[in-house]
Amino acid sequence: MANQLKDKRVAVLVANGFEEVELTKPVEALKEAGATVDIISPEGKTVRAWAEKDWGKDYPVDKDIKEVVASS
């Protein structure tokens, strides 16, 4: 699966309270496939995950949602 997404850029849109594994596993798989992944959020510089029964880690946001434009 390595490099199937080489030269592709993928935006992952998240907000505070997302299920941690629902961000980390897909991002890991996308990167392993060669994609460049940007975390996009309206929340500011970081987003906080929810991990089962409590708050999880904070993750850095690459770009604010106001900064991005979708293109093909």
Residue 1 — pLDDT band, cuts 50, 70, 90? low
pTM: 0.84
Look at residue 12 in the predicted model and tell me its pLDDT: 96
Q: Is the dihedral of CA 53, 59, 64, 65 positive or negative?
A: negative
Q: Specify the residue for token string 């991005």.
A: 68
Report whether pLDDT(31) > 70.
yes
Tell me the average pLDDT across 30-41. Answer: 96
